[in-house]
Amino acid sequence: MQTTRGVIITGASSGIGLECARRLSSRGFHVFAGFRKEPDAARLERLAPGHITPVKLDVTDAASIKSAVKAIEKCPNGVVPYGLVNNAGIVIAGPLELLPIDAFRMQIDVNLIGQLAVSQAFIPLLRSHHGRIILMGSILGRFALPALGAYSCSKFALEAMAEALSMELAGTGVSVSLIAPGNIESPVWEKSLKTALDIAGDLSGRDWDPYRDAIEPAMGYLTRLPERGISAEKVALAVERALTKRTPKKRYAVGLDSVFLGRLLPAFPAGMRQAILRRVVLRR
């Protein structure tokens, strides 16, 4: 029987995940598209009928992950689980001093713990087919920005997780690659701004004085990010390469900002790097 490679994509309802689902389904993969909200399921299925199977999957819910594994174990005839694209992620913005611990915990839970939990659940299936794991990192896994510290914490840690996991799985039949996009056109930035404003509202009684002059330019920077981002298609192309190349890279930088800034800025002395970043974000 002819086999088709199946790929699981978490957070496939929008942005990079949706573009990955579109591209991979058109390249001969059968996509198991992870979603959380029911209205997204039909939309995903319509994207490529017969080539995309929506799967309810919340990366922060152990029962949901277990259910998704069971659903994918019952693959359509000829489909073998080959790839896992750990794409689900959120951005929670705000100064770390005033960020509610529950919000910080959610940032880490979705972007880091969730990726490991899903990887652990699917590794046995992937190993039997010499499969591949893709972790969705970020340029902000190499340096941090004011008001995006929580996000960078999750992505810094993800870089370490990808490296350790890659070494641990070497020789077991499963490869691991990290995709590190720069600024991408994505609804995640609009969502992050809304979250930041919600948090600011919740903390209206707190002492914001040390941050009042900085918060407006930082939020303005978040607003401008989508205008400067490159297409999510370029990230999907990197994901496709990581899944199809005979010897995939351990790390794919996507976008000129990721290629150059990701290498250049960490090489600067910390004080100089922080001065540059404050100038870019806070305009001072």
> With pLDDT > 90 as the criterion, what percentage of the chain qualifies?
58
Residues 229-270 have pLDDT tens digits of: 788 999 999 999 999 999 999 999 998 778 777 778 888 898
**In this structure, what is the dihedral angle of CA atoms 161, 165, 17, 69, given to the nearest 10 degrees?**
-120
Q: Which of 151, 211, 221, 252 is catalytic?
A: 151
Fold held by 4-282: Rossmann fold (3.40.50)
Give the pLDDT of residue 155. 97
- Has 252 been annotated as catalytic? no
Residues 6+ apart with CB under 8 A from 281: 145, 146, 147, 217, 218, 221
Element (DSSP H or E) covering residue 6: strand 4-9
**pLDDT interval class at 283 (50, 70, 90):** low
Give the pLDDT of residue 186. 66
Angle, helices 270-282 vs 212-228, to 10°: value is 80
Long-range CB contact pairs, 70-73, < 8 A, 24+: 71/32, 72/6, 72/8, 72/32, 72/122, 72/125, 73/125
Give the pLDDT of residue 202. 56
Cα–Cα distance, 55 to 50 (Å, whole number)? 14
The pLDDT of residue 80 is above 80: yes
Give residue limits of the domains in the chain: 4-282
Give the pLDDT of residue 25. 96
**pLDDT interval class at 184 (50, 70, 90):** confident
Residues 10-41 have pLDDT tens digits of: 999 999 999 999 999 999 999 999 999 999 99
Give the pLDDT of residue 143. 86
